[in-house]
Structure 1
Amino acid sequence: MSGWALLAHLVRPQGRHGEILADILTDFPERFSDRRRLFLLPPGAEATPTAKNQAPPREIELEDFWLHQGRIVLKFAGVDSIDDAEKFRGFHVAIPESERAELTDGSVYISDLEGCTVIDLATEGAPAIGTVVEVDRSASLLVLKGTDGSEVLVPFAKAYLETIDIAAKRIEMRLPAGLLEINAPLTAEERKLQQAAAAEEGAPSPTAPKKWTKHRPWKKKPQK
């Protein structure tokens, strides 16, 4: 979202005193200790920041936080009950982009990668593979919308990376031969061959309707 850096996504109430469990969207969760002024963005605001009738971000004070099983629990001032916390389910916690933590050389913000066009320099003509629509942090994957509209998964690995130009929204990579074919969808001919092979082995076809076995109703034996 232009103008905002997302730090967390509020999932559900956690506890009886207004605490809220959240997914972490920042590489610096420890810096919540330095932040007291935060903003809550309504669901959808991060995707459509200029939508008409969109509720404005709500400034809120962070009272406390702690990490919990790979997530973070946040306690905001004035949110003191389960009902209070429930009102913010699905909201995003954000700060102005101007307040983001400074990065070391060679580092980039994940949010800045979204919208970048990925170029494969290893392929003749250096074609565009697609546009980054999401970054899978857990698997270090770039999720692209391919030039044909399909989903393309590309490892975001330093070994493949050549340059990142955030201003130009361009990522240049040199990918190993065959990497893109691994995640490519099956062609119509490949699906037919797969179904034929499954039929020969006696396995049900992926597109065939399931056949259900009719069972007799179970009857309880009378007690002697």
Structure 2
Amino acid sequence: MQLVVARIGRAHGVKGEVTVEVRTDEPELRLGPGAVLATDPPTVGPLTIETGRVHSGRLLLRFEGVADRTAAEALRNTLLIAEVDPEELPEDPDEYYDHQLMDLDVVLADGTAVGRITEISHLPSQDLFIVERPDGSEVMIPFVHEIVTEIDLEEQRAVIDPPRGLLDEGEAEVASGRDDAAKGES
């Protein structure tokens, strides 16, 4: 099975290095020197990692055959894809691969159906589940323990305890006193 493990960012320096947005909890395993990765778009790869290092908190990679800034910049926004055994699981029991979470049913603690996970968005601050509701609309659910209280792979479900307003726009409360102040000024 193939998993997206990183996205190539901008070129760094003049010797072919690129910044990488890591999308795996195991970069040392998936993005080490010698790793051969498929790409999206496929015409760019496969790419073999020649060197890797961390600079100012960012992972920098250099690929075999990419020797200058122009060649590195041409790789920008390419997804790096690793071949992974579908039976392989992360070492930490509280971590999951995207393929394990895709298509899980999302329910409230009382069993009320919310929808189905159709996409996982990896943002710098946190991951989001994109959940398709039965009516076809989508809702974004932050993948944090306070909201996603249980992942049950055997039952193929994610149990959530959403804060008020997350699921229903009508329940949202105004978090600012600005509106009240504006009413008093008229």
Q: Tell me if structure 2 keeps the 8 A contact 1:10–1:21.
A: yes
Larger Rg: 1
Superposition pairs for residues 49-198 of structure 1, below 5 Å? Answer: 55-56=42-43, 58-98=45-85, 102-104=89-91, 106=93, 107-120=95-108, 122-123=109-110, 126-132=111-117, 133-136=119-122, 139-147=125-133, 148=135, 149-157=137-145, 160-161=149-150, 163-165=152-154, 170-173=156-159, 175=161, 179-184=162-167, 186-187=169-170, 197=180
1:80 is displaced (CA, Å) by: 0.5
Corresponding position: 1:200 with 2:183: yes
TM-score by length of structure 1 reads 0.63
| Mean Cα deviation higher: 146-155 or 14-23 | 146-155
Q: Tell me if structure 2 keeps the 8 A contact 1:12–1:20.
A: yes
Q: Tell me if structure 2 keeps the 8 A contact 1:154–1:180.
A: no
Q: Tell me if structure 2 keeps the 8 A contact 1:152–1:180.
A: no
Whose strand fraction is larger, Structure 1's or Structure 2's? 2
TM-score by length of structure 2 reads 0.74
Q: Tell me if structure 2 keeps the 8 A contact 1:142–1:155.
A: yes
Change in CA separation of 1:105 and 1:10 when aligned onto 2, cut-off 3 Å:
closer
Query: Percent identical across equivalent pairs?
Result: 19
Change in CA separation of 1:69 and 1:182 when aligned onto 2, cut-off 3 Å:
farther
Distance across 1 between alignment mates of 2:159 and 2:84: 27
Deviations 1:27-48 (A, max 9, x none): 1112233643222222xxxxxx
1:118 is displaced (CA, Å) by: 1.1
Q: Secondary structure at the match of 1:112?
A: helix
Q: Tell me if structure 2 keeps the 8 A contact 1:118–1:131.
A: yes
List gaps (5 residues or longer) in structure 2.
Answer: none
